[in-house]
Amino acid sequence: MNKTDEILERLKGQQPVIDDSEDLTERIMSSLPDREVPRHDRRNLVGRTLLYTSSIAAVLLVGFFLYQNRPKEQPVVTQQTETHETPLPEPQNVEQENTPQTVEKHHVVKSQTSNVTLANIKRDVEQLHVSSSEEPLLASSEAERDDSPSPSERAVEQLEEEPVISPEKQALVDIFLAEEVLQVAYEMHEQTEPLRAYIATLEGRELETSHQIISF
Amino acid sequence: MNKRTQQLESEILKRCQRGDKAAFRWVVQSYQRLVFSLALKMLCDEEESKDIVQETFIRVWQNLESYEPGRPFITWLYTIATRLCLDRLKGMKQLVPLAEDESMLRQFASSSSEGRAIENREWVAIVRMLAAELSTKQRLVFTLCHLEELSSSEVEQITGMDAKQVKSNLYVARQTIRKRLIALGYE
């Protein structure tokens, strides 16, 4: 190895010594600036904030969308039924006020001021007709029944065209109407009891027990 | 550097990234000599070199969040120090050997080669004598490859040069220094 190569080899890998390394360390440490949150943490913070914000916004948007597109609540039937052109038959006597027609009229009038549905009225009327067919004294004359729809039927038909109310309100209405029907039937039974007793006397038979009449 | 040391260093650097100054003190104490060595061989000035060391570690502290844990820390540290040295060299006058530098080189060359540590003033004189005719790139590559004994790939990462540029700059630098030594009477 010649001298030049020897000199170059001796310079390899040698490191100078810092004579006051502790002082230099202190100098460096004291000159370090205060670091805030590292940039990548700030990025994460911003990213997390954006994520949370967008998530909340998405949830709100979905909620708003669902609210806007919710199934529309069935409007309550409040429309007034049209005035009956055909007057209801005049009662033949006091007891006839509780005939099925009277009850129909009662319900039709009631439907003008309360939330009545087609199904309820229809069911009540049918029940009354069934009970009236079983009870001759309560039945109206067959002549009064013609092919033209009765006012209640027309009201029913009109109500058929109207949307029904929500199931919850429907249930409340059903309960209310059921009570009303029961009350009417009970009153009707009380009022016809003397007449039924008189007819039974004339026919020479015994009067039926009241629980047989109020069977519905 | 063995695996355990690498794990330790990695953990310390993570703590530094979280703003732990005590951990960073360990980094400074461990690597300040390395940075000082590079700076002194590049700048040939002790005080300037200490300034470079200080500035380098401030930069490291400020940019620790951009440090990728998978990358060797030393390479990243050398990169910062190298850029600072090159910036400082732009504002400095060209290296001109002093009269006493030649005698210092002769003293070094004539001394026994085994077990002799080179003093800082000797380093300054020797580099001034040998690297006076080198360009900045040649001097940088020679310092990193030859004096600091970094691998060619490390030098490529630090300097941004490709392998061919590193190889050619190193070859030219060695040839220039040999000619210089021959001119000084060393065969």
Does the beta-carbon distance from A29 to B25 stay under 8 Å? yes
Contact residues, chain B, for A6 at CB < 8 Å: 109, 113
Does the pLDDT value for residue A141 go beyond 50? Answer: no
Query: Who's near B141: CB < 8 A, 6+ residues apart?
Result: B155, B159, B161, B166, B169, B170, B173
Judge whether B142 and B174 are in contact, CB under 8 Å: yes
The answer to whether residue B35 is domain-embedded is: yes
- Backbone dihedral angles phi then psi of residue B132, each to the nearest 5 degrees: -60, -30
Does the beta-carbon distance from A3 to B186 stay under 8 Å? yes
The answer to whether residue B36 is domain-embedded is: yes
**Per-residue confidence of chain B (187 residues) as pLDDT tens digits?**
677 788 888 889 989 988 899 999 999 999 999 999 999 999 999 999 999 999 999 999 999 988 887 788 999 999 999 999 999 998 887 778 888 888 888 888 888 766 678 899 999 999 999 998 899 999 999 999 999 999 999 999 999 999 999 999 999 999 999 999 998 888 7
DSSP secondary structure letter of residue B144: I
The answer to whether residue B125 is domain-embedded is: no
Q: Nearest CA to CA, how far is A65 from chain B (Å)? A: 43
Does the beta-carbon distance from B50 to A24 stay under 8 Å? yes
Does the beta-carbon distance from B126 to A21 stay under 8 Å? no
Residue B64: enclosing H or E segment and its boundaries?
A: none
The CATH number of whichever domain residue B29 belongs to comes to 1.10.1740.10
**In angstroms, what CA-CA distances link A191 with A89, A104, A204, A205?**
19, 18, 21, 20
Cα first-last separation, chain B:
37
pLDDT tens per residue across span A58-96: 999 888 888 888 776 665 555 555 555 555 555 554 444
Q: What is the pLDDT of residue A110?
A: 58
Range of the domain at B68: 1-94
Contact residues, chain B, for A18 at CB < 8 Å: 32-33, 36, 50, 53
Does the beta-carbon distance from A33 to B36 stay under 8 Å? no
Contact residues, chain A, for B118 at CB < 8 Å: 11, 14, 16
The answer to whether residue B86 is domain-embedded is: yes
Judge whether A14 and B117 are in contact, CB under 8 Å: yes
Q: What is the ipTM of this complex?
A: 0.88
Q: How far apart are CA B116 and CA A14, in angstroms?
A: 10
pLDDT tens per residue across span A94-130: 444 556 666 666 655 655 555 555 566 667 667 766 7
DSSP secondary structure letter of residue A90: P
Q: What is the pLDDT of residue B8?
A: 84
User: A61 at the B interface (CB within 8 A)?
Assistant: no
Q: What is the pLDDT of residue A187?
A: 84
Q: Nearest CA to CA, how far is A25 from chain B (Å)? A: 6
Judge whether B80 and B60 are in contact, CB under 8 Å: yes
Judge whether A121 and A107 are in contact, CB under 8 Å: yes
**In angstroms, what CA-CA distances link B71 with A18, A94, B68, B154, B157?**
27, 107, 6, 11, 11
A201 token code pair = 């006397």
Q: How far apart are CA B128 and CA B148, in angstroms?
A: 17
The answer to whether residue B43 is domain-embedded is: yes
Q: What is the pLDDT of residue A143?
A: 45
Query: Who's near A194: CB < 8 A, 6+ residues apart?
Result: none
Judge whether B149 and A46 are in contact, CB under 8 Å: no
Q: Per mean pLDDT, which of A10-24, A200-214, B103-117 is the most reliable? A: A10-24
Taking CA atoms, what residue in B is nearest to A31?
B58
pLDDT tens per residue across span A152-190: 677 667 666 655 567 888 888 888 888 888 888 888 888
Query: Residue type for A166, please?
Result: S
- Counting the structural domains of chain B, the total is 1
A101 token code pair = 């027609």
Residues of B engaging A, defined by a Cβ cutoff of 8 Å: 17-19, 21, 24-25, 28-29, 32-34, 36-37, 40-41, 50, 53-54, 57-58, 61-62, 64-66, 108-109, 113, 117-120, 123, 126, 146-149, 174, 177-178, 181-182, 186-187
Best residue in B46, B127, B147, B184 for a mutation probing chain A (most A CBs within 10 Å): B147
The answer to whether residue B89 is domain-embedded is: yes
Q: What is the pLDDT of residue A120?
A: 67
Judge whether B21 and A29 are in contact, CB under 8 Å: yes
Scan for tokens 């070094």, then name that residue. B108
The answer to whether residue B3 is domain-embedded is: yes
The answer to whether residue B103 is domain-embedded is: no
Does the pLDDT value for residue A37 go beyond 90? Answer: no
Q: How far apart are CA B99 and CA B93, in angstroms?
A: 17
Q: What is the pLDDT of residue A149?
A: 66
Nearest neighbour of B65 by CB, restricted to A10, A33, A39? A39
Does the pLDDT value for residue A214 go beyond 60? Answer: no
